[in-house]
Amino acid sequence: MEEVVIAGAGPVGLRLAAELRLAGIGVTVLEPRPAPDPRSKALTIHPRTIELLASRGLHERFLSEGIPIPTGHFGMLDDRLDFRLLDTDFQYTLAIPQARTEELFEEHALAAGARILRGHRVTGVTDTGDAVEVAAEGPDGAYALRAEHVVGCDGTRSTVRQSAGIAFPGTTYSLVGWLADVVLDAPPEGGYSRATDHGGLMILPLPGGLHRMIGCAPEDVRSDWPGEPTLDEVRARAVAIAGTDFGLRAPVWLSRYTNASRQAERYRAGRVLLAGDAAHQHMPAGGVGLNVGVQDAMNLGWKLAAVMAGKAPADLLDTYHDERHPVGVDLLESTQAQTALFAAFSPDGQQLRALLSKMIAEQPGFARGLAERLSGLSVRYPPADPAAHPLTGLRAPNLRFRDGPCLLERLRSGRHVELDFADGRDELAGSRPDWASVRAALIRPDGHVAWATEDPAAPRPSPW
């Protein structure tokens, strides 16, 4: 009997595997690809995800290899969001190819003791009530596994989701954009974005001297698949939008993307759970997909481990759906809104873009709100008790103390962290007005506030 079987060794499955191993849970990951994909769908790691990596001591490798970008875009608007205004140690996104993220995550998962079987595919799952029967195929043919729980991290066409009978409602695509990883002989400085009635174009620097060009044009508003783009097509689009092709040559990868948007109705069905793209499909706007998936894994990991270890009741797993499904709803709302801005090629659409861009430049509160949402820092899980302290459910900032390690370092064990300010043991260093009157708090393994009080005599709750 396996403890947990994870379908998919992408970033989400690998991060979840390591998180479960941190708690001593046995994990087997089945991945159809015989080797990691060198092509990178995702490039961006957002501030909240960097915080989560730091809470497990994983961030330094990413910081040493990624390119920090202190601004972000919303809908490819001209005025960018300034992450330097955010309340975090990591006031930037990191540009790092998904292929490298997967390599680093896989190294960590293997070092933690996860079993990763490449060339093995989940072909079906059946929840029998007391276990999950997993049908699989490997290099030597079909075989079966029996597991206490199965987690589908197997993408938008998830076999696990379909086998579990979980609906995946949403919309099909109406926009087909393109991307190109190329060499640019005359690249723009830093990040670049431009939108005209000829289309929109964004250029991002990649480690290793490459650049990614991402764009869409009026002729891309369509519901049929035009085939993969050619270098000549990308060159013609760039010239039409930017007036130059930036000396593009030597393509490494040419591909397309769409704005299809769907979300699983349930993230849990008995002993079967979903995370990442298996739970939500969307336009790759703002580079949020990988980040939301990793944050799914961090929410699920400690809960599943606690239930399997007998520390918490089984219904703790229901809170995974209750907390993360609304985040997926917000994700689709944001990416679909950005799709409308990407495709706003008409004169009226261009005026809408100009107005919203002006609001980002002139309304700091509006701009900061978008940046907090895009970065993942604004997520709050509604507390079960409506009378709970206002901090409950919020992500805790990296609190620093006059004595001892900071909060992110204290979270590295993957366990709850209790803070006691009443007896001076955890005296805060620096100004934290929102925490000034807090006398005690309990921080969840994923960095959200489980409980807080201003009463020094209040009884301390159980983590579960």
Give tens-digit pLDDT for 349-379. 999 999 999 999 999 999 999 999 999 999 9
Closest by CA position to 287, among listed 78, 72, 6: 72
> How many CB atoms sit inside 10 A of residue 314's CB?
10
The predicted pLDDT at position 424 comes to: 73
Does residue 118 surpass a pLDDT of 90?
yes
Q: What is the signed CA dihedral for 165, 166, 172, 178, rounded to 10 degrees?
A: -110
Q: In terms of Cα–Cα distance, which of 172, 174, 282, 171 is closest to 221?
A: 174
Question: Which pLDDT value is given to residue 405?
Answer: 96
Question: Letter for the amino acid at 352?
Answer: L
Query: b/e map of 163-186 (b: 16 or more CB within 10 Å)?
Result: bbebebeeeebebbbbbbbbebee
pLDDT digits (tens, 9 = 90+) for 296-310: 999 999 999 999 999
Highest mean pLDDT among 184-193, 390-399, 418-427: 390-399
CA distances from 82 to 89, 290, 374, 375 (A): 14, 21, 11, 11
In the numeric block, which tokens belong to residue 266?
């349930």
3-state DSSP assignment of residue 165:
coil
Q: What angle do CA 98, 226, 290 make, to 5 degrees?
A: 20
How many Cβ atoms are within 10 Å of 359's Cβ, its own excluded? 15
- Residue 11: pLDDT band (50, 70, 90) is very high
**What is the average per-residue pLDDT within 97-107?**
96
Q: What is the pLDDT of residues 130-152, one digit of tens each?
A: 999 999 999 999 999 999 999 99
pLDDT by residue (tens digit) across 50-98?
999 999 999 999 999 998 999 999 999 999 999 999 999 999 999 999 9
- Please name each of the domains of the chain with its CATH number: 2-171+261-375 (3.50.50.60), 176-258 (3.30.70.2450), 385-464 (3.40.30.120)
pLDDT category of residue 40 using cuts at 50, 70 and 90: confident
Cα 307–chain centre separation = 24
Is the backbone of residue 85 left (phi > 0), alpha (psi -120 to 50) or beta? Answer: alpha
Which whole number is the average pLDDT over 399-420?
A: 96
pLDDT at 102 over 90: yes
Q: Give the Cβ contact number of residue 24 at 10 Å.
A: 13
Rounded to 5°, angle at Cα 61 from 409 and 413: 25
pLDDT value of position 351 = 96
Average pLDDT of the residues in 107-121: 98
Instruction: Indicate if the pLDDT at residue 191 is higher than 80.
Output: no
Q: What is the pLDDT of residue 285?
A: 87
Task: Tell me the C-alpha distance between 274 and 259, whole Å.
Answer: 21
The pTM score is: 0.96
Average pLDDT for the chain: 95
Distance of CA 144 to the CA centre of its chain: 31
Mean pLDDT throughout 194-204?
92
Alpha helices in 205-317 (DSSP H): 231-242, 289-308
